[in-house]
A = this chain, B = another copy of it.
Amino acid sequence: GAPIFERETYSDNDYAGVITGLAWTQVGGEILFIESSLNKGKGRLTLSGQLGDVMKESATTALSWLKANADKYGIDHRIFENYDLHIHVPAGAVPKDGPSAGITMLSSMVSIFTQRKVKAKLAMTGEITLRGKVLPVGGIKEKLLAAKRAGIKEIIFSERNQRDVKDIPEKYTDGLKLHFVKDAKEVLEIALLTKKVEDPIKFDLPKK
């Protein structure tokens, strides 16, 4: 049969750039992890994990938004041209697509570029646009179920998904803190801690 996600559980927030997303497949909801890595290079972007073209475009859209708003997050612009960014979504053999990982990929990028820790037990799902709007996505009920099952305690949605959540019986959301946001800035305020990860990257940049 078609490859599906093996059931994952939330692990921890030790690593920069690891964010929990929510996927919606034919067999239900599932959590997935977006991982990011930054290495000295020439500003290349590598995407892996059998991502479809819509998901790849989400990543480039998130990256362009981040470049345009780098100052607000204290990111030195020279990093973009002197480091290579790799985003990977395990499991590596499972095809993934769609725009709903947009804010997850953005949060992962901001975490790896700033080396800030990610809030524990948080998941998110939402499309990102180039001006930073967060658009609604589908499969809300299935994603809520999957998040609970995996040990998630907080979820970020688009404010335009609020109507979808209202239609769902309360037991699905019991014990979950739900955030409904309008834009990227709100996502990052919720998702990223001020504290940096252990042994943060010391960026090696050319003289200005």
> A residues bordering B, Cβ < 8 Å?
6, 15, 17-18, 33, 35-41, 46, 48-50, 53-54, 57-58, 60-61, 64-65, 67-68, 77, 80-81, 84, 86-88, 90-93, 98-99, 102, 127, 129-131, 133, 135-136
CB distance B37 to A60 under 8 Å?
no
CB distance B54 to A53 under 8 Å?
no
CB distance A48 to B39 under 8 Å?
no
Excluding A35-B131, A88-B129, 12 further A-B contacts by CB distance (< 8 Å) are: A17-B131, A18-B131, A37-B64, A39-B64, A39-B68, A40-B67, A40-B77, A48-B61, A57-B92, A64-B86, A90-B130, A93-B127
Collect the chain B residues with CB atoms within 8 Å of residue A48's CB.
57, 60-61
Write the nearest CB–CB distance from A48 to chain B, whole angstroms: 4
Write the nearest CB–CB distance from A62 to chain B, whole angstroms: 10
Collect the chain B residues with CB atoms within 8 Å of residue A84's CB.
64
Collect the chain B residues with CB atoms within 8 Å of residue A102's CB.
92
A136 to B93 CA separation, bound complex (whole angstroms): 12
With A39-B64, A60-B46, A77-B40 known as contacts, the answer to whether A90 contacts B133 (CB < 8 A) is yes
A18 to B131 CA separation, bound complex (whole angstroms): 8
For residue A66, which residue of chain B has the nearest CB?
A: B39
A84 to B49 CA separation, bound complex (whole angstroms): 24
A60 to B39 CA separation, bound complex (whole angstroms): 12
With A92-B57, A92-B99 known as contacts, the answer to whether A68 contacts B130 (CB < 8 A) is no
